[in-house]
Amino acid sequence: MGLSHRTMTFSNPVYIQSSGTAVGPKEGAGPLAGSFDYRYTDIYCDEKSWEMAERALMKQAIKQCLTKNHLSIDSVDLFVAGDLSNQTTASSFVARDLQLPYIGTYSACATSVETLIISGVWVSSGLADLVLAAASSHYGACEKQFRYPTEFAVQKPETAQTTVTGAGAVLLGKKRTEIQLTEATIGRVQDLGITDPMSLGAAMAPAAAEVTIGHLHKTNQQVSDFDLIVTGDLAISGSEIYRKLLREQGIYITGRYEDCGVMMYHSEQQVLAGGSGAGCSASVVYGHIYHRLLAGELKRVLVVATGALLSSMTVLQKQSIPAIAHAIVLERRS
C-alpha cells in the first residue's frame, strides 16, 4: 500500500465479491426501487420494534450478499459494521447472531465508507481472505432517538432530511472480480459552528469538500478522472453548499455529481431535503451504483460518505455539529 498517511492505494488488489441491500417501504417506492435486493412492505420488517427491524434489515442485506456468492457465513473471516443507534446495538446484535470476529465502527452516516476502508486494509494486507462490511439505519429508530416522537408531528424546515430505512452489505476479498477498491482517504472532522440539527447537510458539506479536495490533490487527479463523484447524504441543501465549496477551489463537478440522499426518493415523497442515515449511502452505493459499475455504465466512482457527529446530548448542550467524510474509489476493471 502506498501514499501513506491518510490517503492510500490498495497495492494488493481488493475486490467486491458481491453486495446485498434491503430497504423499507418508502425507499422501495422510490426511483431506485428496482436496484434493491429486498424491499420490506412494512417499516417494522416483521419485527416487534423499530430497533429489531433495523437488525432484520442488516441481516437481510447480508443474506442477500452471501447468497449471490453461494457462500455460507462460515467462509467469512471478519465482520466490520456500524450504525446510528446508541452504542451501535444494531450492528452488535447482528454480530452476535453471525458469530463472526467483529470490529465495531462509528462515524455516523460516513460509517459505510469507514467499514470499506478497514475491510479493504484487512484484505490488502493479507490479514483476511473475506471480510463482510455493513451499515444500516432505520427511520423510526432514528427519529425516536435523535428527534421527537413521530406522533408529535413536529413541523420541520426544508433543510431537514429523512432517515433512510435501509442497510447495505458488501463482501470484500482478493479473488479477482469486475469491481475493485483502489484508493481511499480518511476524513478529518470539520466544524464550522452550525448548531441546527435540522441542517445536517450544511454541517456535513465542509467535511465532504475537505476530503474530496484532499483526495484529488494527494492522488494528483482531476474531477474528469472520475465518471461520478457521489456523496452519501448531503441532500439538496447540503449538496449545493458542497458544490459551492468546491467551486471556490476551482473544482467543478457539474455533470459528474450525484448525492445518495437526493437519489433515494421522488420529490413528491415528502422527504424535505432528501434521505440521510448510515443506511443511505450503503444501500444506494451497494445497489444502484454497484450495478451501474457492473454494467460498465460507470468505470471509476469516488464515493464520499458524510457523517454528522452529533448526539441528542450535544444538541441539548448547544454544542456545534462536527462532521466527517471518508472517500473511497470503486473501479470497474477494463
Residues that bind a copy of itself (CB under 8 A): 1, 4-6, 8, 49, 51-52, 77-78, 82, 84-89, 92-93, 95-96, 99-108, 114, 117-118, 121-122, 124-129, 145, 186-191, 309-314, 317, 319, 322, 324
Whether 189 contacts 22, CB under 8 Å: no
Give the contacts of 174 (CB within 8 A, at least 6 positions apart): 12, 13, 14, 15, 123, 129
CA distance 244 to 257: 13
Give 25-58 as a DSSP string.
HHHHTSTTGGG-SEE-SSTTTTSSSHHHHHHHHH
CB closer to a copy of itself, 31 vs 104: 104
Q: What cell numbers appear for 174 in the block? A: 482478493
CA distance 166 to 173: 24
- Least distance between a copy of itself and beta carbon 21 (Å): 23
- Least distance between a copy of itself and beta carbon 316 (Å): 10
What letter does residue 2 receive in the DSSP assignment? B
- Least distance between a copy of itself and beta carbon 218 (Å): 11
- Least distance between a copy of itself and beta carbon 307 (Å): 9
Query: Which of 121, 119, 110 shows the shortest CA–CA distance to 2?
Result: 121
Whether 143 contacts 56, CB under 8 Å: no
- Least distance between a copy of itself and beta carbon 166 (Å): 19
- Least distance between a copy of itself and beta carbon 74 (Å): 11
CB closer to a copy of itself, 262 vs 321: 321
Residue 10, H or E segment: strand 7-23
CB closer to a copy of itself, 100 vs 169: 100
- Least distance between a copy of itself and beta carbon 57 (Å): 16
Q: What cell numbers appear for 324 in the block? A: 466527517
CB closer to a copy of itself, 126 vs 250: 126
CA distance 288 to 179: 14
Residue identified by cell 459494521 is 81
CB closer to a copy of itself, 2 vs 255: 2
Q: Is the dihedral of CA 77, 80, 325, 238 positive or negative?
A: positive
- Least distance between a copy of itself and beta carbon 214 (Å): 9
CB closer to a copy of itself, 236 vs 327: 327
CB closer to a copy of itself, 181 vs 324: 324
* Residue burial 254-276, b: 16+ Cβ < 10 Å; e: rest: eebbbbbbbbbbeeebebbbbbb
Q: For the chain, what is the largest distance between any 2 Cα atoms, rounded to a whole number of angstroms?
A: 53
CB closer to a copy of itself, 109 vs 241: 109
